[in-house]
Amino acid sequence: MSTKGTQKTCKKGHRYSKNSDCPTCPICEEERRPEDGLLSLIVAPARRALERENIKTVADLSKWTEREISNLHGMGPSTIPKLKKILQDNGLSFKSSVTGYCIKFKTLKDINIDTLVEAIRDGVEHTNKKTINMATTNLKDGDLCKVIAGTHKGKSGLVQDIKTSKTGHITITVSQKNGVRFKTLGKNAEVTKDE
């Protein structure tokens, strides 16, 4: 057992150390790792993200766009290439997205009507999913916000230090009334009028 970090004990009595305030016991996580299948091939945070969305098989994963999966909390930068390889090894791929189609259209003569119809259909399905919080673009330093998802769900405070991570996610620091600060994804917060 490593001596770095804070010593913790989980509900099952496992002793472990953590450098973060994450409440997840690594020993419990390893015990619940499946022995086979898609979820056995990826790290615990990514596995929990897929489990939250009820994605249990490679076929389930192929029904999602790469962007939708990338936006899930727990998906690190090394996970997407691994998932692409798993899909490819099974003769599958991520679902196409409107953005992917639009990039392919260089000129009007390149547009195939069937492809365009499919792109529009995918776009409507994509915008109907609750994977994008449009309030993210409205967050500004000093705004009062409430966290609506993720580890800090239910907490509120002032938005500070808005940044874009290496993976393209918007991250914010939230400063609570009691002075405690925490980081979260911008998509997990919404602007509020009062605490």
Q: What is the pLDDT of residues 35-55, one digit of tens each?
A: 777 887 888 888 888 988 999
Range(s) of the domain holding residue 187: 134-191
Angle at 108 (CA atoms; ends 102, 113), nearest 5 degrees: 70
Domain assignment of residue 1, yes or no: no
Q: Which two tokens stand for residue 79?
A: 């996970």
Q: How far apart are CA 70 and CA 130, in angstroms?
A: 14
How confident is the model over 67-118, as pLDDT tens digits? 889 889 888 888 999 999 998 988 888 887 654 444 444 455 555 666 666 6
Whether residue 143 has pLDDT greater than 60: yes
CA distance 39 to 50: 8
Q: State the alpha helices, DSSP H only, in 5-63.
A: 26-31, 44-52, 58-61
What H or E segment, with its residue span, contains residue 189? strand 189-191
Q: Is residue 82 part of a domain?
A: yes
pTM of the model: 0.43
Q: How far apart are CA 148 and CA 138, in angstroms?
A: 15
**What are 125's strand-pairing partners?**
none
Same domain, 31 and 86: yes
Give the model's pLDDT for residue 191.
Answer: 85
User: C-alpha angle 67/32/90, rounded to 5°?
Assistant: 45
What does the mean pLDDT of the chain come to?
Answer: 76
Considering 116, 132, 148, which residue would you say is the last residue of a domain?
132
> 39 and 28: one domain?
yes
The alpha carbon torsion through 168, 61, 111, 134 (nearest 10 deg) reads -40
Residues of the chain with pLDDT > 90: what percent? 12
Q: What is the mean pLDDT of residues 55-66?
A: 89
Domain membership of residue 109 (yes or no) is yes
149 and 102 in a common domain: no
Give kind and range of the element (H or E) at residue 24.
none
64 plus 29 within the same structural domain? yes
Total tally of structural domains belonging to the chain = 3
**Chain centroid to CA 90:** 23
Say whether both 42 and 123 belong to one domain. Answer: no
186 with 151, same domain: the answer is yes
